Structure 1
Amino acid sequence: MAGRSRHPHKDIEQAIRHAEEAGWTFVKGRGHCFGYLRCPWNDETCRCGEFCQFSIWSTPRSAENHARQIRRLIDHCKYMQDSRE
């Protein structure tokens, strides 16, 4: 969590930390977007060759669901699954 501010919802903050521990990078956002999580691997075989990025909202409708989405993205990343095998 070196130089970023904490997310106001504890569930989302924990999900962001989970992503950072997995090697994902946090980029500060603006406005309603608290920030972005970016995958460390930019590969053509992953997500149609697009850079894996996920928006973290400051005030999502459901903080618990948003945190679950973040964790699901990280845990189902092709490279995370490869490293577990």
Structure 2
Amino acid sequence: MKKHPNKHIQSAIEYALEHEWVWIASGSHSHTFCKLRCGNPANEHKDHQISIWCTPSNMENHAKQIIRKVNQCF
């Protein structure tokens, strides 16, 4: 798994992975860095996912969005 160049977003990705989310590689011609999907073993949250952008307009806000999405699965 590659690391996001922004420390805030990388930290949010690591937070998601610690909470059983799954990292999905993006295509080579995509503006997304990767996708994260809830890996709940009961598969109750199969629609919970978020695209991680390479260069969002506000890096810190994007990191907060990732964390909020992960927290919705608790």
- Tell me the TM-score range normalised by the shorter chain: 0.7 to 0.9
* 2:53 paired with 1:57: yes
Computed over aligned residues only, the root mean square deviation of the Cα atoms, in angstroms, reads: 1.2
Q: What secondary structure does 2:24 align onto? A: strand
Residue of structure 1 equivalent to 2:65: 69
Unaligned runs of 5+ in 1: 81-85
Give, as a single letter, the amino acid of the residue that structure 1 aligns with 2:60: E
* 2:3 paired with 1:19: no
User: 1 CA distance for matches of 2:48 and 2:26?
Assistant: 16
User: 2 CA distance for matches of 1:16 and 1:75?
Assistant: 13
More helix by share: 1
Using structure 2 for the length normalisation, give the TM-score.
0.86
Aligned positions, number = 70
Return structure 1 stretches of 4+ with deviation > 4 angstroms: none
User: 1 CA distance for matches of 2:26 and 2:9?
Assistant: 15
1:40 offset after TM fit, Å?
1.1
Q: What secondary structure does 2:67 align onto? A: helix
Higher RCO, Cα 8 Å, sep 6+: 2
Larger radius of gyration: 1
Identity over the aligned pairs, expressed in percent? Answer: 41
Unaligned runs of 5+ in 2: none
More strand by share: 2
